[in-house]
Structure 1
Amino acid sequence: MLDDLDRRILRHMQVDPAISIPDLADRLSLTTSRLTRRIEKLETLGIVRGQRAVIDWQALGYAVEVSLRVTLDKTNPRAFDDFIAAARDIPEVIEIQTFLGRVDVRLSVIALDMPHYQQIYRTRILSLPHIADIEALMHVARIKSEETLPI
């Protein structure tokens, strides 16, 4: 599906996502129109979904990260849909993942400090619908956080 040129384009875009089209075209020895067509093709195929800014939430003062493993009351057929819809409305929930197994959902929650986390937990998290069990894991260190793919 991807040829060598597509892979080279993707590698460069991963390393320097803010690179301009003309600069990337120069690095790849392509014309800007050919590079633009290739990038548009990668977008059409759903391989490139756009560019975004990666913001360091710790630099903004968020010092606490907690991973919550949630088991839902699956006797309610709307448990997943209701829970996820409500969890999306909590700004401090920065990631929601669903699983098959004992744990149904994992939430990543950030907070400014422990009192802020306790306030979020007590007023927002515990009011989420259909929770049967919840386990909190306090984040200590991020050893590897890489979004670059081995292309």
Structure 2
Amino acid sequence: MIDLDETDRAILRALARDAGQSAGALGRALGLSQPATWRRVRRLHDGGAVRGRRVVVDPAALGFGVTVFLGVKLATRGRVSLEDFERAATAIPEVQTVQHVLGLFDYRLRVVARDIADFERVLRRRILTLPGVGQVEANVLLSEERRPGPL
């Protein structure tokens, strides 16, 4: 774990809002010089507090109007490895996230589709044929009030 002071936290908040801003612009906003800001950002990267930059794409704007969360319980853990399931699930383009979870289901998948008919196609032809799939429960996203952001 990396030790953070208040300036480091301010840098992280600013980068979470706009990861593409330059060290100079970031420094001006925080009252730091460009070299001092760059050194702090580099330290945050090297220490593992920052892992890359991200572009947030709006699925609906690209024609993917349906998001479904799937709970997946594996039928036979002994015959299929978790890695086999994860590898196969992450290879499906419509599957946005694969989360190994503790609870009623073994995995939680976030799946996007153009519409319900498209989701049914993905479910039948791709997800239900994944290695080891047993029980599947679907929850359709109605609205999302808060997207992931800074801690």
TM-score, normalised by the number of residues in structure 1: 0.92
Retained in 2: the 8 A contact 1:71–1:131? yes
CA–CA separation in structure 1 for the residues paired with 2:42 and 2:146: 31
Provide runs of 4+ in structure 1 moved above 4 Å. none
CA–CA separation in structure 1 for the residues paired with 2:31 and 2:145: 37
CA–CA separation in structure 2 for the residues paired with 1:139 and 1:67: 7
Aligned residues: 149
| 5+ residue gaps, structure 2 | none
The reply to whether residue 104 of structure 1 matches residue 106 of structure 2 is yes
Structure 2 equivalent of residue 133 of structure 1: 135
CA–CA separation in structure 1 for the residues paired with 2:119 and 2:50: 35
| 5+ residue gaps, structure 1 | none
> Do the aligned partners of residues 137 and 25 (structure 1) sit closer, same or farther apart at CA in structure 2, a change above 3 Å counting?
same
Report sequence identity in percent.
38
Retained in 2: the 8 A contact 1:72–1:79? no
Structure 1 equivalent of residue 42 of structure 2: 40
CA–CA separation in structure 1 for the residues paired with 2:58 and 2:77: 39
Give runs of aligned pairs for residues 1-150 of structure 1, distance below 5 A: 1-76=3-78, 78-149=80-151
CA–CA separation in structure 2 for the residues paired with 1:119 and 1:14: 36
Cα deviation code 1:26-53 (max 9, x no counterpart) = 1122221111111110011100111111
Retained in 1: the 8 A contact 2:64–2:113? yes
CA–CA separation in structure 2 for the residues paired with 1:90 and 1:142: 23
